[in-house]
Amino acid sequence: MKNTGNIISMIAAISIAMCAVSCGDGSAASSGRSAGTAGGSAKASAGATEAEKADKTDAGDAEAAMEAEDGVYEEETGELAGDAGDVKKSAVEGEGGAQTNSAMPEAGQLTAGEWRDNDNWGFLMNLVNSGTISFPSYGIDPRGRVAVTVKNESGEAAANVAVNLLGEDNELLWSAVTDKNGRAYLFTPEGKTAAGVEATNSEGKTQSAEVKANSSGGEQGGSEVSDYAECELTLGGNELYKKTEIMFIVDTTGSMSDEMLFLQSEFSAIAKEVGTEDTYYSANFYRDEGDDYVTKLNDFTNDVATVQSQINAESADGGGDIPEAVGRIMNETLSNGKWSDDSVKIAFMIFDAPPHAEDSDEVAQAVKDAAKKGIRLVPIVSSNTERDTELFARGAAICTGGSYVFLTDDSGIGDSHLEPIIGDYKVEKLHDIIVRIIGDYRQ
């Protein structure tokens, strides 16, 4: 993405410096906070008005609601009609080089919302069938979902069971792993027909069930959209995982300065709240071809200080066009990352731009690989995103049993954030959402 965050940060810095000369340092700091609070309140109020309109509509009315909120919706979307306290370097990299800062901004300010399409499947199917949104998005197609629940002989949820979706002639179509609630989601590729589901536990015991499709009566691109019936299987034998692996995949191009500052100031606090016992972290970064680097990978470790140091060493720079090296970083971290077999796996992907269109096959394969390994992908979509980025992120979250997170304007920080086409949601601190999601998936 373009370096809009750098320009805003430079203007803000000049304004504060001028105020400091005339009023003194203490007054300047106080005035800056007051102005920020007032701006945040105004944006939150405006955002709430739009949200109220959306909250009063169901999925069938979502398209009309979006047109009311954003008059250029159809035009623009086309297809849619150390620890943090030790940091001395700013996450903003200007054209003239790195800008330095003596302290990090106050933590806990970024606001966000969360949405789980797998828990609101009827809503999503109505959006698809009405033509309000469409898939595939960058090769990711969550239509034709088969929701599977696996329980043991006592009726309790069976976690960490490998589940396969089979087509005609036992062709393997999709693989996933049940979460601690015994749930897994499988997806039928376009042009294929799902015939059955097979579950296998750690002892090698298997259980299978037939799959029958229930037509939802809609069409997309000339092909009927089907919502497959849910399958429930009985199979015990698996234990909960003690180990949890948490990966952060971060876009560090020039427009991501606010998000970089967030991670630099809050990672250690998140890790402290989550804990380090049997918990391992990995921070990975990416930009685009032609930048100082394209990807930068780090192994999992339970040494929080090491991960914090890796995050602190990064700054927002590069980019310039909209797409970034999303396909490559997903391939290197999800398809080929060093994940353990016996762990709960969560990948937070913080970004504001979609993949290159020519990387769609690589992206789709990475999502499929993540689902097979049981990696729950949690995209965190930042400012200046477009509708195709939202759909790419939601599709990736759906297909891996993850969750879609998006920043909101309520904090008053950074550029404007796209209002997603979803139902009711709660605005929370991003810090709190990340901690809560980790708790939701941990076993």
* 0.85 exceeded by pTM: no
Query: Does the pLDDT value for residue 2 go beyond 70?
Result: no
Range(s) within the chain of domains with CATH label 3.40.50.410: 54-118+240-441
pLDDT tier for residue 214 given thresholds of 50, 70 and 90: low
Range(s) within the chain of domains with CATH label 2.60.40.10: 141-234
Distance from C-alpha of 390 to C-alpha of 174, rounded to nearest angstrom: 23
254 or 281: which carries more pLDDT confidence? 281
Nearest one of 260, 266, 393, 262 to 330, comparing CA atoms: 393
E strand segments, 107-230: 111-115, 145-151, 162-167, 172-177, 183-187, 194-200, 206-210, 213-220, 223-228
Amino acid letter, residue 443: Q
> For the chain, what percent of residues have pLDDT higher than 90?
63
For 3-17, 24-38, 262-276, 354-368, which range has the lowest pLDDT when averaged over its residues?
Answer: 24-38
Whether 294 contacts 288, CB under 8 Å: yes
Distance from C-alpha of 416 to C-alpha of 255, rounded to nearest angstrom: 12
Query: Does the pLDDT value for residue 134 go beyond 90?
Result: yes
Token couple for 192: 């294929």
Residue 398: predicted pLDDT: 99
Whether 83 contacts 268, CB under 8 Å: yes
Domain 141-234 has CATH 2.60.40.10: yes
Whether 180 contacts 159, CB under 8 Å: yes
CA atoms within 13 A on the CB side of 225: 23
pLDDT tier for residue 251 given thresholds of 50, 70 and 90: very high
CATH code for 54-118+240-441?
3.40.50.410
Query: Does the pLDDT value for residue 229 go beyond 80?
Result: no
Residue 295: predicted pLDDT: 98
Residue 106: predicted pLDDT: 60
Instruction: Kindly tell me the sign of the dihedral angle through the C-alpha atoms of 125, 130, 133, 137.
Output: positive
Q: Which residue has the tokens 């979803």?
A: 422
Helix axes 257-274, 4-23, angle to 10 degrees: 90
